[in-house]
Amino acid sequence: MGESDEKAVRSETTAPPSAIYEAVNDYLDHAMLVEGKSPATIRGYRSDLQNLVADMVGWEDVTLSALRAWLAAAVEQGKSRATIARRTAAVRAFCAWALRQGYLQTNPAARLVSPRTVRSLPRVLEAFDAAELVEQPLAGNGTERVRDRAMLEMLYATGIRVAELVGLDPEDVDLQRGTARVLGKGNKERMVPFGRPASEALQRWLQVRHELANDGESALFVGVRGKRINQRQVRRVVERAASTIGARGVTPHGLRHAAATHLLDGGADLRVVQEVLGHSSLQTTQIYTHVSVDRLTKAYRQAHPRA
């Protein structure tokens, strides 16, 4: 039997392309009306599932190997982690529905695992760049500059999240011991240390904080209206300071990455860094070891005569 004959037999024994497309539309109606999925989720699922079935002739083409190949192609195309995760969720939900409807005899997506993708990190500031950034002369009046310097010092010294920084109150900071009590994700409290530069910057800020803060305001860092500063304002401060040293694109999270990487570069134990950063899982912290190893390898190849 020739190739054309095989195609003819295949077309006669499988559902027409429109049938599986119609099933996608039926599922999306179910997902919206019965499961209550949001319009944004429906739009994403529609794009994903129509992409999936574009080259499928019938339900027999919905196999585990086909689903794996589809996700692998998305990874090779450079799709984001969020897109890969959404595609995986979409096809799992669709196949589970198709099984209940009798379109599938088994659910191939039940054994589907998202392809592993490399978690990317922003470029890590070198230690001297980070020091230069936090010491930059900043815009604004004298009181704002003192505040901004204290915020920059704290972000880099402690590696805390920007949400944790803006959540600090004066009583959370112990200048004598050089520690801050931080309320992290899941309302988990932890103590983080900081050094003399951050302590001195905080002390200077606390001396002038009353010039900006409204009466009765409990926040450590306040904005020009005298209320607790918001995350957007902190990001602007970091971005302005970074641009003055030619390091555009640096964010508060970038300073957190730098703090973690520089701790590991300096020999800190991974579990200590985990505690400082407030990670619930050591696996999350281990991403920074990859950065440190990469930096070590690069330095070795640049310096060793036999590299």
Active site residue 256: yes
Is the full-model pTM beyond 0.75? no
Measured on CA atoms in the order 29, 34, 35, 41, is the torsion positive or negative? positive
- 235 is a domain residue: yes
The total domain count for the chain is 2
Q: Which of 47, 66, 101 is the last residue of a domain?
A: 101
Q: Do 183 and 72 share a domain, yes or no?
A: no
- 9 is a domain residue: no
Residue 271, domain CATH:
1.10.443.10
Q: How many CB atoms lie within 10 A of CB 185?
A: 11
Both tokens of residue 123? 């470029």
Q: Do 82 and 225 share a domain, yes or no?
A: no
Q: Do 223 and 152 share a domain, yes or no?
A: yes
Q: Do 261 and 198 share a domain, yes or no?
A: yes
- 113 is a domain residue: no
Q: Which of 101, 132, 159 is the last residue of a domain?
A: 101
Q: 149, 256, 257, 262: which is the annotated catalytic residue?
A: 256
Both tokens of residue 278? 């407030």
> According to the model, what pLDDT value does residue 305 have?
55
> According to the model, what pLDDT value does residue 303 have?
58
Q: Do 150 and 231 share a domain, yes or no?
A: yes
- 176 is a domain residue: yes
Q: Do 94 and 148 share a domain, yes or no?
A: no
Active site residue 188: no
Pairing of the two strands 179-183 and 189-193: antiparallel
For the chain, the farthest-separated pair of C-alpha atoms sits apart, in whole angstroms, at 89
Q: 30, 46, 235, 253: which is the annotated catalytic residue?
A: 253
Residue 24, domain CATH:
1.10.150
Domain that holds residue 32: 19-101
- 74 is a domain residue: yes
- 139 is a domain residue: yes
- If you search the block for the tokens 């998202």, which residue do you land on? 114
Active site residue 253: yes
- 106 is a domain residue: no
Both tokens of residue 259? 């703090």
Q: 27, 45, 156, 288: which is the annotated catalytic residue?
A: 288
- 256 is a domain residue: yes
Burial class (CB in 10 A: 0-12, 13-18, 19+), 207: exposed
Active site residue 161: yes
Q: How many CB atoms lie within 10 A of CB 110?
A: 11
Q: Do 68 and 133 share a domain, yes or no?
A: no
Q: Do 259 and 227 share a domain, yes or no?
A: yes
Q: 185, 196, 236, 271: which is the annotated catalytic residue?
A: 185
Q: Do 246 and 140 share a domain, yes or no?
A: yes
Q: Do 132 and 69 share a domain, yes or no?
A: no
pLDDT averaged per 10 residues in sequence order, the chain, 307 residues: 39 52 93 87 92 87 91 83 85 95 93 62 73 76 92 94 95 94 87 93 97 96 95 93 82 88 84 83 69 57 55
Q: 145, 161, 228, 262: which is the annotated catalytic residue?
A: 161
> According to the model, what pLDDT value does residue 162 have?
94
> According to the model, what pLDDT value does residue 266 have?
84
> According to the model, what pLDDT value does residue 5 have?
42
Q: Do 135 and 55 share a domain, yes or no?
A: no
Q: Do 205 and 277 share a domain, yes or no?
A: yes
